[in-house]
Each structure stands twice: as C-alpha cells, then as structure tokens.
Amino acid sequence: MFTESPRQLAEGVYWVTDCLAMEHDGETIHAYSSAYLVHGDDRSLVVDTGHPKDWPSIEAQLDRLQAAGVPPVEYLFPTHAEVPHAANLGRLLNKYPNAVAVGDIRDYHLFFPEFADRLRPMEEGARIELGGTEFLLLDAVIKDLVTSLWAYDTRSQTLFPGDGFAYMHHHQSDECWRTAEEVPDLPIPEFTALFSAYALYWTRFTDIEPHIAALDGLLDRYPTRVIAPGHGSPILEPADTIPRVKEGLRIGSEHVLDRTRSARVA
C-alpha cells in the first residue's frame, strides 16, 4: 500500500490530503477533501485548501515539499467557495505572505477581509506562468456553484475539476493514498450517480447529455493524463475511468427523470 504523503501524481503535481474517518454500518470508512500543489521551474500554486480539520497534516506536507526544494508558493486557487475547497485559504495566505488568491473570488473579501488586498479575480481563459508550464483557468463543465472554475496544468496535462469528478466520497481504511485504478472493484458509476443526485442537485432538472458533450470537447482541447478531483481518488488512466464516470452521470440523471415522469403520471 502507498503510504507516503504527499504523493506525486505527475511531474510537478503533488496530492496533498488527509482522511476523514467515520463509522458507518459497523465499519470505519474514510473520505478525502484534497488539495494539490503544482509547480513549475520558478513558482508553485496550491489548488483548493483541504478541509479545516486536515490543516495540521496539509501544512506538514507542504512544508516537506518546500524542504525538498519545490519553488515558493505564489498562487492559491480555490475552485469554489465551499468549506473543503476554500476554508483554509486564510491560513495559506498567512503561511505564504507573498502569495495571492486567484479565481472567481467575488465574495472572498467578506470571509477574509484582512487579506482583501491579496485577492486577484481571474476568469476563464486566464493563464498563470509557473516557469516551464502554464496553469490555465477553465470553465467548469459540471458546476457545483455558479463561481466554480476548473484548471489545467500544461506540462503534466493534469485537469483539476473541483467537484466535477467527485465520483467517490469514501474508501476503506486500507485504500488511503491510492488512485482510482489502484482500488479494486471500485463502483465508479454507482458512486457518481449517488453524488450527482445529492451534491449536484441541478442534475435533477436538466438533460445531462449536453454537459457530457461539453466534457468531451474540453478533453479534446486539453489532452489529459491525470485528473485530480477535490474528492475521491485521482485518476491516472482517464481513457479507462472517464467512460465509467459518464455512465454514472447518466444513471443518476435517468433515475431522477424516471422518478419525475412516474410522479407526473400518477
């Protein structure tokens, strides 16, 4: 079992997280709220902030990366304003006094007024030069909030979709730090359908096919080797795993539509 933390997923991309352990049906299960460090030759960027309860572990992992020689952190990118993705932003801004927060941060001055001068609004299409690689801000094909943004690292070809690929919210205690492909018999379609029904509430009221088509278009424009979601295990074999995520989106949408049709008929 892979136990080293943080875990390197690709050149210049590290998975920074800790597990939330909880009891369910008599067994202990774990869940992720992940952050990632991305670096080029000159500077680093942190994607999402992790859950507040994970801060001691996240800070220690970031310190290990800095001690290993990664470039200084100059940018912080929360994909959207939810606790697992943005709540440690103040701690990160305090830890890295030369860093700025970027993205759709229209309300963040209300949460972190002491750092209002270090908030840099950036929209879809913005490009951040890290040295030998660019970090691109993308439209979120599958939005959790109206302010959601995705991102892409050009050198490693890593996609950061926030909650867009949150197909798995828990794992067993012996599956920590594993990628999706390293967890045997992972029921990705079922997890995706369940997550869509509850966390992506809007999928109850719309046709999912245009969103899947938009996802296909994005992946055509940005060839992707790694997918690094906010929740669930990272994906290192997109060609194998993405079809299963799409299947889950369709299952979730069709299940809700079928229930709606039945209610109308009744």
Q: Is 23 exposed, middle or buried (0-12, 13-18, 19+ CB in 10 A)?
A: exposed
For residue 266, being part of any structural domain is answered with no
Please tell me the predicted confidence (pLDDT) of residue 191: 63
Mean pLDDT of the chain: 83
For residue 139, being part of any structural domain is answered with yes
| Count of domains forming the chain | 1
| Band of residue 167 on the pLDDT scale cut at 50, 70, 90 | low
Please tell me the predicted confidence (pLDDT) of residue 142: 81
Determine what percent of the chain is predicted with pLDDT higher than 90.
55
For residue 230, being part of any structural domain is answered with yes
For residue 199, being part of any structural domain is answered with no
CA 44 to centroid of chain Cα atoms: 17
Please tell me the predicted confidence (pLDDT) of residue 231: 83
For residue 145, being part of any structural domain is answered with yes
Residue 198 scores a pLDDT above 70: no
Residue 115 scores a pLDDT above 70: yes
For residue 163, being part of any structural domain is answered with yes
For residue 260, being part of any structural domain is answered with no
Of the listed ranges 133-142, 163-172, 232-241, the one predicted with least confidence: 163-172
Please tell me the predicted confidence (pLDDT) of residue 100: 98
Angstrom distance (rounded) from CA 214 to CA 154: 20
Residues 206, 207, 211, 212: is their CA dihedral positive or negative? Answer: positive
Report the CATH number that the domain containing residue 115 is assigned in CATH.
Answer: 3.60.15.10
Give the alpha-carbon dihedral of 84, 90, 93, 97, to 10 degrees.
Answer: -160
Please tell me the predicted confidence (pLDDT) of residue 263: 35
- pLDDT (mean) for 54-80: 96
Residue 4 scores a pLDDT above 60: no
- pLDDT (mean) for 232-243: 87
Domain containing 103 equals 7-183+226-236
For residue 130, being part of any structural domain is answered with yes
Angstrom distance (rounded) from CA 166 to CA 49: 16
